[in-house]
Structure 1
Amino acid sequence: MQTVLTAKLKLNTTPEQFKALRTTQLAYRDSLNYVSQYAFAHGKMSNAVRLQDATYEEIRLRFHLPSQMACSVPRQVGASYKTLWTKVKNNAVHRKEGKTKKRYKGLDKAPKFISPTLTYQYKKDYTFKKEQQVSILTLEGRVIVPYTGYNKHVALIQRGAEIGASKLWYDKPKKQFYLLVSLAIETADPTPETHKQVAGVDVGMRYLAVTATMQGDCTFHSGKQIVPKANHYARLRKRLQKKGTRSATRRLVAISGRERRLKQNTNHVVSKRIVLQHPQSLIGLEHLTDIRERTKRRKGKNAKQRKANRTFSKWSFAELHSMIAYKALLHRSMAIKVDANYTSQACPKCGHTCKENRPHKGLLFVCQNCQYTLHADLVGARNIAMRTLLIRQDWRGTGLLSVRAFCVGR
């Protein structure tokens, strides 16, 4: 099976190459906004083929994009509109079911593309050369630029990894171009025999992740140092938004980047520790789809409830799960999603399930049936591990992964 990685390559450009790449980026962004306006004016169209037939010649004539880029623009716009249509339909379902009263407004006006990031197709818009050089297409023709990057990623590029599309990203504060290249590498197909161990991972705010195995081993990955920093950024962002000046807006942009990098780095560190602690294991993760809607407090609009909703939606658990998934495949493990219902309320000893098992929704779990007492997050991790073990047993007996789970890395 294949695992997809993203290699971040730093482009060492000359002033002339820098200008050519920047001009190409801005022309690509302008063409995206032109096609977006056209799609909105013609019934919020999401069909990429129809968009390309209607706008291709105008893109070539007005923005002078090369042919392959002129084909990529309608596809990207069409994909964006499809995503928005999906959100509109999901919102309609949630409003009908009473889960929310807000109407999704993403298609009330044409989406505007702000980021100048553009997409390159391998062997059409860019190719790799010898001596760590890459040939990139611009409005003025191809430029050959030397690059540097993470040694393992550079080695994969030079030694036969399957290379896909890439994105030309511009770091505005540093005035530096990066090429983000997707790499597909082959990993061994998973079997029940190669995944001899089972681990469960419970995520949360007090502890970013708690792991447990069927042998009784457990690990707590605390967010004690990270969460206060995230809270600080939230308070600072609130003050700057209230101020509303141009300088406050510039600070908001800088702060958002810092907060994003803080969370991303923390998720990288935690996911790497989890995967290295459980080699050749089947790692169970909670299926947290729509968790924000399911845990949202809707009664009243006071400050305490708004703070609670903000706290529950603060950390990017989906990103943590995805990092665990792809790193597990690189270390001969595999991550699967399991049912997350009642993992923190069910007793792992006798199976009794009720809300009263967690007094005041605190960190202490006390079973009302057998008086089994344990840390609540560890109880959740052990329940996830047991559900993962059941899936592994079904897999071993039938030769197929259970319908109750799916491989995150596929």
Structure 2
Amino acid sequence: MQTVLTAKLKLNTTPEQFKALRTTQLAYRDSLNYVSQYAFAHGKMSNAVRLQDATYEEIRLRFHLPSQMACSVPRQVGASYKTLWTKVKNNAVHRKEGKTKKRYKGLDKAPTFISPTLTYQYKKDYTFKKEQQVSILTLEGRVIVPYTGYNKHVALIQRGAEIGASKLWYDKPKKQFYLLVSLAIETADPTPETHKQVAGVDVGMRYLAVTAMMQGDCTFHSGKQIVPKANHYARLRKRLQKKGTRSATRRLVAISGRERRLKQNTNHVVSKRIVQQPPQSLIGLEHLTDIRERTKRRKGKNAKQRKANRTFSKWSFAELHSMIAYKALLHRSMAIKVDANSTSQACPKCGHTCKENRPHKGLLFVCQNCQYTLHADLVGARNIAMRTLLIRQDWRGTGLLSVRAFCVGR
């Protein structure tokens, strides 16, 4: 089994190299917008081959991109249009079924590419050299740039990890270039005989994650210190958006980046602690597709409803799940998705399920049938662990997982 990681490498450029990379980035972005306009004018085309045949020569002449970059541009634009077409078709189905009245407007005009992020193909646009140096293609030819990065990622690059495409990313506030390199590493294929330990992970706002093992061990990962900071950024962002001046917009960009890094770092810390279970464990995660639609208040448009809806949208639980998934594979474990329905309302002792088991929707779980009392989030984690155990037993009997393994690389 392969696990995909993203290594973030800091490029230590000279002023001349910096200028060459920045010029190449901007030319690549301009070519993306040119091809996007062409695709929109010719029936909102999403076929990458047809786009390349029609625009390749113009890209080379107008923007002076090297051949491989000129091939990457139509592919990227074609993939963007395919995504938009999928959203348009899904929206049409939802409107027909009465799930929404809004029409998706993503293809009403040509998509505009704002970010100057540049895609490189390994061994064609960039290669790694000795002594932590990388050779990168620019409009003026190749430049050899020293780099630094996370020690484990650098070791993987130097010791035979399968290297894929990369992205040249520019951090505008710090005026610093980074190379985001895709790495694929081999991990052992899981089997029911090797993955004997079972754990369940329940996510929420009071506690970002609660972990329960079948042996009774549990871990609480509180969001008490982090969530108020995220709420502060949300309030500040709202005031800046309302003000709308240029200085407010600049401040908004800085604040949004700070908020994003805060949440990402917290998710990294929590996921790292979760996967430090006994190795070769099967970790159950809730299947959270459409969780916002299932939990939000649907009636009324008052302030209480809007506040409740915002509460369920504050944290990136999908990001937390993806981090748990790829880190679990690196620790010889595996994460799978289980049904999230009524995990916090079902009694793990007698199985009785009802809303009254959560008095006032608080942190206390009291079974109305057997009077079993426990922390509500821990009840959810234990129910997820038991559902994961059932999946493991079925896996052992049939040789197939009844749910798809959740294995998302970063």
What range is the shorter-chain TM-score in? over 0.9
Tell me the alpha carbon deviations over residues 195-225 of structure 1, each in whole angstroms, 9 at most, x when there is no partner: 1110000001110001111111111100000
The CA distance in 2 between the partners of 1:404 and 1:33, in whole Å, is 37
- 1:404 is displaced (CA, Å) by 6.8
Deviation of the 1:180 alpha carbon: 0.5
Does the 8 A contact of 1:192 with 1:396 survive in 2? yes
Q: Which residue of 1 aligns with 2:184?
A: 184
Using the TM superposition, name which of 300-309 and 116-125 deviates more: 300-309
**C-alpha separation between the residues in 2 aligned to 1:216 and 1:330?**
25
Distance 2:314 2:171 in 1: 25
Q: What TM-score results when the alignment is normalised by the length of structure 1? A: 0.97
In 1, Cα distance between equivalents of 2:113 and 2:407:
33
CA shift for structure 1 position 241: 0.7
For the 8 Å contact 2:338–2:403, the answer to whether it is kept is no
Rounded to whole Å, the distance in 2 between the matches of 1:166 and 1:409 is 14
Check whether the contact 2:170–2:176 (CA below 8 A) recurs between aligned residues.
Answer: yes
**Cα distance in structure 1, aligned partners of 2:373 and 2:103:** 44
CA contact (8 A) 2:212 2:218 kept: yes
Q: Can you list the C-alpha shifts for 1:35-85, whole angstroms capped at 9, x where unaligned?
A: 111111122211111111111111111111111101101111111111112
Greater displacement, 209-218 / 398-407 = 398-407
Q: Which moved more, 1:400-409 or 1:31-40?
A: 400-409
Contact 2:336 2:406 (C-alpha < 8 Å) held by counterparts: yes
Distance 2:406 2:9 in 1: 32
Q: Aligned partners of 1:96 and 1:30: how far apart in 2?
A: 38
> Does structure 2 conserve the Cα–Cα contact (< 8 Å) formed by 1:136 and 1:144?
yes
Q: Is the 8 A contact 2:197 2:280 kept in 1?
A: yes
TM-superposed CA distance for 1:405, in Å, is 5.8
Say if 1:338 and 1:379 are closer, same or farther in 2 by CA, change over 3 A: same
Structure 1 segments unaligned to the other structure (5+ residues): none
- Deviations along 1:228-269, one digit per CA (max 9) or x if unpaired, are 001101110111111110000000000000000000000000
Shift of 1:346: 1.2
SS at match of 1:143: strand
SS in 1 for 2:205: coil
The structure-2 alpha-carbon separation of the partners of 1:186 and 1:404, relative to structure 1 and needing over 3 Å to count, comes to closer
The alignment partner of 1:310 has SS state of helix
Identity among equivalent pairs (%): 99
Q: Does the 8 Å CA contact 1:122/1:165 hold for their aligned counterparts?
A: yes
1:274-301 per-residue CA deviation (whole Å, 9 max, x = no partner) reads 0013422100000111212222322111
Judging changes above 3 Å, is the alpha-carbon distance between structure 1 residues 404 and 126 closer, same or farther for their aligned structure 2 residues?
Answer: closer
CA gap of 1:394–1:406, structure 2 versus 1, over 3 A, is: farther
**Aligned-partner SS, 1:276:** coil
* Higher mean C-alpha deviation, range 7-16 or range 357-366: 357-366
TM-score w.r.t. length of structure 2: 0.97
User: What's the offset of the Cα at 1:100?
Assistant: 2.9
For the residues of structure 1 that align with 2:37 and 2:371, how far apart are their CA atoms?
63
CA contact under 8 A between 2:210 and 2:221: conserved in structure 1?
A: yes
1:136 deviation in Å? 0.4
Residues 335 and 408, structure 1, Cα contact 8 Å, conserved in 2: no
Change (3 A) 1:368 1:342: same
Contact 2:5 2:183 survives alignment (8 Å): yes
SS of the aligned residue for 2:188 comes to coil
| TM superposition shift of 1:409 | 6.2
Indicate if the aligned counterparts of 2:322 and 2:407 stay in contact, CA closer than 8 A: no
Displacement of 1:98 after TM fit? 3.4
8 Å CA contact 1:199–1:278 kept in 2: the answer is no
8 Å Cα contact 1:359-1:365 kept in structure 2: yes
- Alpha carbons of structure 1 residues 407 and 243: separation in structure 2 relative to 1, 3 Å: closer
Question: What per-residue deviation string (whole Å, max 9, x for no partner) do you get for residues 118-154 of structure 1?
Answer: 1000000000111111110001111111111111111
Counterparts of 1:184 and 1:407, CA distance in 2? 13
Deviation at 1:31, TM superposition (A): 0.5
Segment of structure 1 superposing worse, 226-235 or 86-95: 86-95
Distance verdict in 2 for CA 1:128–1:20, change over 3 Å? same
Greater shift in the superposed pair: 43-52 or 125-134: 43-52
Cα distance, 1:406 vs. partner? 5.3
The secondary structure found in structure 1 opposite 2:275 is helix
C-alpha contact 2:336 2:404 (8 A) present in aligned 1:
no
Taking a change above 3 Å as real, the CA distance of residues 58 and 237 of structure 1, as seen in their structure-2 partners, is same
Greater CA deviation, 295-304 or 92-101? Answer: 92-101
Secondary structure in 2 aligned to 1:369?
coil
Which residue does the alignment assign to 1:193? 193
State the match for 1:381 in structure 2: 381
1:404–1:174 CA distance, 2 compared to 1 (3 A): closer
Number of paired residues? 410
Give the 3 Å change call, closer, same or farther, for CA 403–97 of structure 1 in structure 2.
Answer: same
Q: Assess if the C-alpha contact under 8 Å between 1:329 and 1:409 holds in 2.
A: no
Q: Does residue 50 in structure 1 map to residue 50 in structure 2? A: yes
DSSP 3-state at the match of 1:248: helix
2: CA distance between counterparts of 1:405 and 1:64?
44
Q: How well do the aligned residues superpose, as a CA RMSD in angstroms?
A: 1.4
> Displacement, 1:101?
2.9
| CA distance, structure 1, for counterparts of residue 296 and residue 28 of structure 2 | 39
Summarize the Cα distance change of 1:114–1:383 in structure 2 as closer, same or farther, 3 Å threshold: same
1:308 corresponds to which residue? 308
Deviations 1:351-381, CA, capped at 9 Å, x for gaps: 1112222122221212222221111111111
